Every structure is written in structure tokens, then in C-alpha cells.
Amino acid sequence: MDQTIRINKYLASLGLASRRQIDRFLSQGRITVNGKIAQLGDKIDPQKVTIKFDDSKIEPKVQQKIYIALNKPLMVLSTTKDSQGRTTVLDLVKLPTRLYPIGRLDYNTTGLILLTNDGDLTLKLTHPRYKLAKTYLAKIRGKITKLQLHRLKTGVQLEQGITLPSEVKIISQDQYTTVFEIILKQGINRQIRRMCQVLDLNLISLKRLAVGPIKLKTLPVGHWRYLTPTEIEQIKG
């Protein structure tokens, strides 16, 4: 029986990184198999090879999968490290297991971000075809017009094309500010901020309330929690 497996899938299963990140490591020549630089698409038999990443041996082991919800504060990067020494989400979740954020949340956006060592789930949830719904609470200066609201719902022209239809609900509105909830099903970079800019909406704050079925609820800013078994089952879908 063929015991081989693609090297990126195997390393992702060990929690080294997501498959996409591992492919980048392979392209950079940072992974070797039996002393030779591994290539994209290589298949291996884990029981018969020695794998090294940056000259450090990778030992096959059974690693517990971890799934975490974090309420990201303002001015925290949703990356694993920063060359300028700025605070990242991993500075707030100090665990011995190497974790990776599932997707990103802007530096100036607060709210829910998920972290895990499950590379396969990360790849699945960040793939454009998955269309994972994300719910945000936006606050803008002044009132929103019926036309602006209609365009938020039906689609706004960005460089990548017209955005997919969104669910939008006004939460509160007075002469000074408007608060609305918006649900997106695509992952264009800084999408809500760019939509607001096109529509001349002055965005004051943006907070993510939910990622798919996982909700922020009352989790304090800067704090994190483990997902429940039910939530893990739901997010794996």
C-alpha cells in the first residue's frame, strides 16, 4: 500500500504552518528531506525520511489541535510576528503550541479573530470559494442615506470588481452618527473600509462580531478563550 503523502499536507498536519505557508517555505528552500532541498509537490513516506526546517529536525508526533477565539484590540497586528516590534495577536495568546491566525483583521479593526494550529482548517476557511460569512459592527459619522445603504447591500465597485451582496441592518442613527451591522461573504482586503470610502462614508470604528457560527459575545477586549466542541464541529462544517 502506498504510504506517501504530499509534504505540505504532512507538515500542515503536524502544525508547522498552513499548507500555503509551507509551500512558501518550500519555494524558499527552507525544507530538506534526507539532506536534499524539498520541492513543491514532493511526496514522502514520513516513516522513511528525515525532514528538517531551517536545519531543525521535524519529529513526527501526534499534536492536539487547538482552536481559539480572541477579541483583538486596536493597534494589534493579526500576524505571527512583526519586524518593527509591534504587538501581534500571538503576544496576547501565549501558549507553547505554534498558532496561526485564520485570516486577518486590520490593525485598526477590533473584535473576533480565530487562531489555530490546524493547517488544513486554516486553508479551508481562508479559501475564496468557502465564502465564510463574517459579521461586523460599523460606526460612521452622520446619517447614512437610502442610496448609500442600498449600494452597501447590493455591491460597491472596487478595483477587484463589484463586491458581493451584503446583509446590512441599521442598529442606531441620529444626526451625529450611524451604527450598522454588515455581513460579508468574501474576503477582499480592507473591504468595508474601502466600500465606505467609495460611498463617502466617514468610518469611525469597525468591530468584527462573528466568523461564521463563532460569535464574539461578551469576551473582553484582549482576552481569548478555547472554542467549545460544538463550535469546532460547526466551523469544520
Residues carrying an active site annotation? 106
Q: Which residues pair with 184 in a beta bridge?
A: 134
Residue 176 burial (10 A CB sphere; 0-12, 13-18, 19+): exposed
Q: Which runs of consecutive H residues, i.e. helices, occur in the chain?
A: 7-13, 19-27, 89-92, 119-126, 146-154, 191-198, 229-236
CB proximity list for 48: less than 8 A, separation 6 or greater: none
Q: What is the DSSP string of 14-27?
A: TTSS-HHHHHHHHH
What is the C-alpha separation between 223 and 161, in angstroms, rounded? 36
Residue 159 burial (10 A CB sphere; 0-12, 13-18, 19+): exposed
Q: What are phi and psi of 188, to 5 degrees?
A: -70, 135
